[in-house]
A and B are shown apart, each in its own frame.
Chain A
């Protein structure tokens, strides 16, 4: 089995219209997937809105880093959370992510973790 990162991206403007029971559905699915070992327990997180982010830019030449408010990239969809899928192949990991029970729209990027 290998690990795949699941990066969950959403349109934050649309999130305000999502009914509360949708979050409950995702939460229940997440808990069940952790219990069955398809999601790594204790590893995923949900993040505060991107307006709370700060971005540190590190230069190549050793000059002091600069800090700006906001995410590293301004886009309609921003990262809202992540999890680590345990699966045999990328295809299996994608199949798992496709079971996302929330109402959407949501984009889930699935990417293999590098073995260290």
Chain B
């Protein structure tokens, strides 16, 4: 088995229109996968809106760093949370992510680097 990061991206301008029962569906889905061992328990997080973010740009070669308000990239879809999938292949991981019960959402699935 290997680990795959699931980066969950959403259009934040749509988020206020999402009915609370959708969040409940995701919560139940997430719990079910954690209990079945397909999502690593205790590792996933949901994030505050991207407007709360700060970005540190490290220049390199001793050039110091600067801090700006906002996410590292301005886009329509923003990262809203993540989880770690445990699966034998990326195809299996994609299949698990495809069960996400509340759209619209974009879920990037990427293998974790073994250290």
A68–B114 Cα gap in the complex (Å)? 24
- For the complex formed, measure the closest distance between the CB of B8 and the CB atoms of chain A, giving whole angstroms: 9
- For the complex formed, measure the closest distance between the CB of B62 and the CB atoms of chain A, giving whole angstroms: 9
Assuming the contacts A48-B112, A100-B65, asked whether A108 and B53 have C-beta atoms less than 8 A apart, the reply is no
Chain A contacts for B7, CB-based, 8 A: 72, 79
Assuming the contacts A47-B110, A48-B113, A52-B110, asked whether A109 and B71 have C-beta atoms less than 8 A apart, the reply is yes
Cβ–Cβ contact B60 & A103, under 8 A:
yes
Chain A: which residue is nearest B48 at the CB level?
A112
- For the complex formed, measure the closest distance between the CB of B81 and the CB atoms of chain A, giving whole angstroms: 8
Cβ–Cβ contact A112 & B63, under 8 A:
no
Other 13 A-B pairs with CB < 8 A, given A71-B110, A108-B72 = A45-B113, A56-B98, A65-B100, A82-B82, A98-B56, A100-B65, A106-B57, A108-B55, A109-B54, A111-B50, A111-B54, A112-B48, A113-B48
Q: Which residues of B contact A (CB under 8 A)?
A: 3, 5, 7, 9, 43, 45-48, 50, 52-61, 63, 65, 67, 71-73, 75, 77, 79, 81-82, 84, 90, 94, 97-98, 100, 102-113, 115
Going nearest first, the 4 A-B pairs with the smallest beta carbon separation are A104-B60, A58-B103, A104-B58, A111-B53
